[in-house]
Amino acid sequence: MKTLNYLILLSLLAFTACGPATEKTEKDSKNPYDLEIVNDYQTYLEIVERDSNKKFVDLEEYLPDAVLDIRYATDNNFTGEVIYTEAKAFARLPVAKSLQKVQSDLKEQGLTLKIFDAYRPYAATMRFYEVYPDTMYVAAPWHGSRHNRGCAVDVSLVDRETGEEIPMPTPFDAFTEAAHPTYDDLAEEVIQNRQILIDVMNQHGFTVYPYEWWHYDYQGWEDYKLMDVSFGELTEN
């Protein structure tokens, strides 16, 4: 009888150990760092119901005169892969409202924003790090990106009259020293153009990232959760 009880106990322990291990593996494949990430649309809706500022809005609707160049919806980006299913730019409501003020100021200067990227699902951040594991230029997936929070934008400036991007230090996603917003071995015109963008963004709550002249984080980004809700869900609902 003791032998039988011992065998039953071993079986129960084995079953208990295997169950959670399987669940852990499934979770880790999407979020191996145990981050608090909102990854279903219903949870997102519940958050928005409590605080309307947490809502994602389509920047194309809020900034109809901005130029969208969503590189990650094409293979023309540093990964060489199509990352996004749709060429869309979403951001939290206060971010969009502040960008409207940026646009108003730029219009007086004959300029408009070009938007390369805004909200980025966490799964994309994971893929970026797999392709280019340098956290100076790519967000550490163990922290997540401010793009994942809907509180960062990658932008440049376009001449309203010509429709062309004005000269900037580097192309988008050029991971070099020349992309740093303090780099000064550049033509005076380029430095001035970069400063126009930095100044107008600063005036409306955005801070430039120290290693990328195009990347801006919105004030209070800490108050917004990391997200892994797809573009498709945001577009369809």
Q: In whole angstroms, give the CA distance from residue 147 to residue 229.
A: 12
Q: In whole angstroms, give the CA distance from residue 27 to residue 105.
A: 45
Q: In whole angstroms, give the CA distance from residue 218 to residue 205.
A: 6
pLDDT tens column, 48-87: 999 999 999 999 999 999 999 999 999 999 999 999 999 9
Q: In whole angstroms, give the CA distance from residue 113 to residue 208.
A: 15
Domains and CATH numbers, the chain: 56-236 (3.30.1380.10)
Amino acid at residue number 32: P
For residue 50, the tally of other CB atoms under 10 A from its CB is 7
Classify strands 212-218 and 226-227 as parallel, antiparallel or unpaired.
Answer: unpaired
pLDDT tens column, 195-233: 999 999 999 999 999 999 999 999 999 999 999 999 999
pLDDT tens column, 103-149: 999 999 999 999 999 999 999 999 999 999 999 999 999 999 999 99
Specify the pTM. Answer: 0.87
Q: Which residues pair with 67 in a beta bridge?
A: 114
